[in-house]
Chains A and B, each alone.
Chain A
Amino acid sequence: MSILVFADSANGAFKPTAAELLGKATALAAALGTTVTAAVLGDAPAASLGGLGAAKVFQAAGDFSNYDNGAIVDALAAIVAAANPTVILAPASYIGRDALPRLAARLDTAMGSDCSDLKVEGGVVVGRRSEFAGRAYADVSISSTPAVFTVRPNTFPKPENNGGSAEVVAVDWSASTPTVSVVETLAPEATGIDLSSAGKVVAGGRSLKSKENFDSVIRPLGAALQAGVGASRAATDAGYAPHNEQVGQTGQTVNPQLYIAAGISGAIQHLAGMRTSKVIVAINKDPDAPIFQHATYGIVADLFDVVPELTKAVEALD
């Protein structure tokens, strides 16, 4: 009996979601009177997860650098068989949407996806998640075992690694699921900062009027803030920004500390992708734009006047 955290990694290093989920799992496990374990695929430094609260780490060796959901599910299923957890936590990233439901089906258990909070209630873990594109929130509890939850990146604070070391258990696994082979990986067209896990996001809308304006006004602010760059659907449909930068119901969901919306009116479909941002800044010349109802700070002015000044002010910070 334990809470098993899938500590996702790439190129031998853990992703930020590993610390985030281990930190939350440690608090949940204390409330439940259980322990935290971790699942590692590949060669990331598994023992180091002891410093983030994992009592034991189950590691499946292999080359996972070419994403293959079949191999991921086969390896994770072997780890689950060895770890026998009551709860599994994983990031709500591509792997959380692509491989984790397949794992849940193999384990004949239900799953709560894309949670924005987790708590212990009545002796079990309960997730909070949005439905209807963010227009309703509900608790989700799971009565089958293990209960699988994926959590939206940036939901919980990331604890510092205290330098502790965990026992590592090597888990044997073999491939049995039909394989999909990677032919070619296409690098992102723009900044390369992962929007879905970015701590800061700068987004532009239809008011930018052209790709040239988007590139000369929005991207420099993104660069100054070291932020991911996003766009409304109107802006991506008009070709001002590439499709993969779209934030909203039919695009990416972001959950940053800071979201700056410039020239975005705040249609319900856009709000669906960013409403959980901690601090929202709206810059729009229409004082009645719905985005102002969701903003922490608002500036009612032309973005072409304000955003370059904002870029300068950010660049001037020490």
Chain B
Amino acid sequence: MKIGVCAKISPHADARIKIKSDGSGVDTAGEKLVVGDYDEYAVEEAIRTKEAVGGDVTAFSVGPASDEKLIRSGALALGCDSAVLISGDDAEGAGALGTAKLLAAAIKEAGCEVVFTGKASTDGGSSQMGAMLAELLGWAHVSQVTEFALDGGNFKATRNMDAGVRQIVSGSLPAVITCEDGLNEPRYPKLPDIMKAKRKPLAKKSAGDYGVGAIAPTSNQSNYAPPPPRPPSRIIEGDAASAASELVRLLREEAKVL
């Protein structure tokens, strides 16, 4: 089976987030980059699916050419067989919809039957790309999946919904699956595999290689700022019982939330 995984290279959770002085964006130059948290689960699930049913895994990513090293270490070294990296200013700035258009074209070309991706990126975090990709491919999709299994051309998945409700669902391939925290336990690369990954095929593409039409972003971000400051906290003194009753009084009379 042809299996695909879409993974975005983004700043590590502990990276410093510096707002540019003109508010036009965030400067993460020099910060540690990794495959995004949720995309790690997607990479792992794609490899596990290959191990269960056979076939091969292609990793797809949109990002600067310098992401090649991280795609090799964060996807190919773990067991993906090949990769497609789509680079260039227009591709890298395409926004969620443009990114989905490029990935849909690349996935069609590769002939994948199932594609995994994270439920959200760890930078923009808009949770849009996976569902958009499914729509552009005309495939079924399931979001926020915590369990997944294939049975021939059908799949069974468990998804996390609102209010703590989970549902077991079934459907037919082809499908896009967006991966939730806890879907699996992502593996670490072994040194020999890191060496081997250097020789695995990685196709460097540009938006022009895919005749997908306009991918210019129609969403525009501006006025970047740190989180709004909170007023200084008030520390309530006294023993447990008196602090508790003073807190309840403040929550009722001052904050008016009780």
Q: Which residues of A come within 8 Å of B, CB atoms? A: 67, 69-70, 73, 93-94, 97-102, 104-106, 108-114, 129-144, 177-190, 192-197, 200, 225, 242-246, 249-251, 257-258, 268-269, 275, 278-282, 292-302, 305-306, 309-310, 312-314, 317
Contacts and interface: CB of A to CB of B under 8 A. Distances in A.
Given A135-B17, A313-B245, A314-B258, A193 B131 contact: no
A18 B136 CA distance: 29
Interface in B61-90: none
Given A137-B227, A180-B170, A317-B258, 11 more contacts: A97-B144, A131-B125, A138-B225, A139-B222, A140-B219, A178-B171, A244-B160, A268-B13, A281-B247, A297-B250, A313-B247
A181 B143 contact: no
Contacts of B11: 132
Contact of B127 (A97, A177, A250, A305): A97
A109 B218 contact: yes
* Most chain B CB atoms below 10 A, which of A110, A280, A281: A110
Contacts of A295: 230, 233
B236 interface: yes
Interface string B209-248: 0000000011111111111101101111000110111011
Contact of B13 (A67, A129, A133, A297): A133
A142 B131 contact: no
Contacts of A281: 247, 251
* Most chain A CB atoms below 10 A, which of B97, B123, B130, B171: B97
Nearest to B98: A110
B226 A135 contact: yes
A300 B14 CA distance: 27
Contacts of A242: 164
Given A137-B227, A139-B223, A309-B244, A188 B255 contact: no
A94 B162 contact: yes
20 contacts: A70-B140, A97-B119, A110-B96, A113-B125, A114-B126, A132-B125, A140-B221, A178-B175, A180-B170, A183-B170, A186-B165, A187-B165, A194-B164, A280-B230, A297-B236, A297-B247, A298-B236, A306-B243, A309-B241, A312-B244
Nearest to B240: A305
B197 to A, nearest CB: 26
Contacts of B166: 185-186, 244
A261 to B, nearest CB: 12
A153 B132 CA distance: 23
Given A110-B96, A197-B162, A305-B240, A138 B222 contact: yes
Interface in B122-173: 122-132, 134-136, 138-144, 156, 158, 160-172
A102 B228 contact: no
B169 A181 contact: yes
Contacts of B168: 182-186
Interface of B: 11, 13-14, 17, 19, 26, 37-38, 95-97, 100, 119-120, 122-132, 134-136, 138-144, 156, 158, 160-172, 175, 181-182, 217-228, 230-231, 233-236, 240-241, 243-245, 247-248, 250-252, 255, 257-258
A161 to B, nearest CB: 23
Contacts of A93: 162
B219 A112 contact: yes
Contacts of A112: 126, 219
Given A94-B143, A97-B144, A105-B132, A110 B97 contact: yes
- The 3 lowest CB-CB distance pairs between A and B, nearest first, are A188-B164, A194-B163, A144-B218
A195 B163 contact: yes
Contact of B164 (A182, A244, A301): A244
A154 B143 CA distance: 23
Contacts of A102: 131-132, 134-135, 141
A224 to B, nearest CB: 10
B131 A296 contact: no
Contacts of B226: 135-137
A189 B131 CA distance: 28
A275 B227 contact: yes
A250 B40 CA distance: 12
Given A131-B124, A269-B13, A189 B165 contact: no
A138 B223 contact: yes
Given A105-B136, A110-B218, A258 B169 contact: no
Given A110-B219, A196-B162, A298-B234, A138 B224 contact: yes
A296 B233 contact: yes
Contacts of B127: 97, 101, 113-114
Contacts of A105: 97, 100, 131-132, 135-136
